[in-house]
């Protein structure tokens, strides 16, 4: 077993499936946002791989922007969101699509949505690559979902454990050693 896949046991999304998901979501977003002022807003760092793939699967004009919010420590979500790096874009009158790696407890997105709503966008929706509904504590759902997954801690395709594994081209299940 290579160093890159240490403690990774089981594949939840293969590279091929990731490509299929991205193509499907890209087509859907292209249709739904035709003629609008689409801005893809991504939360660093987990969503960077999905963002890079998704934006190239969308064939209508768009702009992108990035935010950094309070970090996710190891396997525990930190709760409320603190903006560490804000957007450069004025959201007034724009159609914002938040691009996320995974919707887990929903705490991060729930507070982010509240913050972004106050900036008067024309619309504000969520596109998440993965959805873990079993873990949800905040009342929040994504408008576009790549794949619903069981309650497992996953890594790869941008997702990390302690900053590692982001460059795995597939999504695998992380199982720590005892």
Q: Write out the residues near ligand IMP by the rule CB under 6 A.
A: 46, 72, 77, 100-108, 153-155, 159-160
Among 26, 46, 106, 121, binds Mg ion (CB under 5 A): 46
Among 53, 95, 101, 131, binds Mg ion (CB under 5 A): 101
CA dist list (Å): 68 to 17, 72, 109, 171: 28, 11, 12, 22
Q: Minimal distance in Å, beta carbon 63 to ligand IMP?
A: 22
Q: What distance in Å separates the CA atoms of residue 12 and residue 148, rounded to the nearest whole number? A: 10
Nearer to ligand IMP, 15 or 72 (CB): 72
Q: Which is catalytic among the residues 53, 95, 101, 104?
A: 104
Other C-beta atoms lying within 10 Å of the C-beta of residue 49: 21
User: Across-strand partners of 38?
Assistant: 95
User: Across-strand partners of 144?
Assistant: 127
CA atoms within 13 A on the CB side of 26: 18
Question: Among ligand IMP, Mg ion, none, what does residue 95 contact (CB within 5–8 Å per kind)?
Answer: none
Nearer to Mg ion, 37 or 72 (CB): 72
Nearer to Mg ion, 36 or 125 (CB): 125
Verify whether residue 104 is a known catalytic residue: yes
Q: What distance in Å separates the CA atoms of residue 17 and residue 95, rounded to the nearest whole number? A: 28
Q: Minimal distance in Å, beta carbon 14 to Mg ion?
A: 21
Q: What distance in Å separates the CA atoms of residue 3 and residue 50, rounded to the nearest whole number? A: 23
| By the rule CB under 5 A, 172 interacts with Mg ion | no
Question: Per the structure block, which two tokens stand in for 162?
Answer: 């302690």
Nearest to 171 by CA among 102, 107, 113: 102
Question: Among Mg ion, ligand IMP, none, what does residue 96 contact (CB within 5–8 Å per kind)?
Answer: none
Q: Please identify every residue annotated as catalytic.
A: 104
Binding site for Mg ion (CB under 5 A): 43, 46, 101
């Amino acid at each position: 077993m290579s160093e890159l896949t240490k403690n990774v046991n089981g594949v939840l999304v293969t590279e091929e499936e990731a490509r299929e998901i991205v193509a499907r979501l890209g087509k859907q977003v292209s249709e739904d946002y035709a003629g609008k002022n689409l801005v893809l807003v991504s939360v660093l760092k987990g969503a960077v791989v999905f963002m890079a793939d998704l934006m190239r699967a969308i064939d209508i004009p768009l702009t992108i922007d990035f935010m950094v919010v309070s970090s996710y420590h190891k396997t525990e979500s930190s709760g409320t969101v603190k903006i560490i790096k804000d957007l450069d874009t004025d959201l007034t009158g724009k159609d914002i699509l938040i691009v996320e790696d995974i919707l887990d407890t929903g705490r991060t997105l729930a507070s982010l949505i509240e913050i972004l709503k106050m900036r008067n966008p024309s619309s504000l929706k969520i596109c998440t690559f993965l959805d873990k509904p079993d873990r949800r504590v905040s009342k929040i759902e994504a408008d576009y979902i790549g794949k619903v997954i069981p309650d497992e801690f996953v890594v790869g395709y941008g997702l990390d454990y302690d900053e590692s594994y982001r460059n795995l081209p597939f999504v695998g299940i992380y199982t720590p050693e005892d």
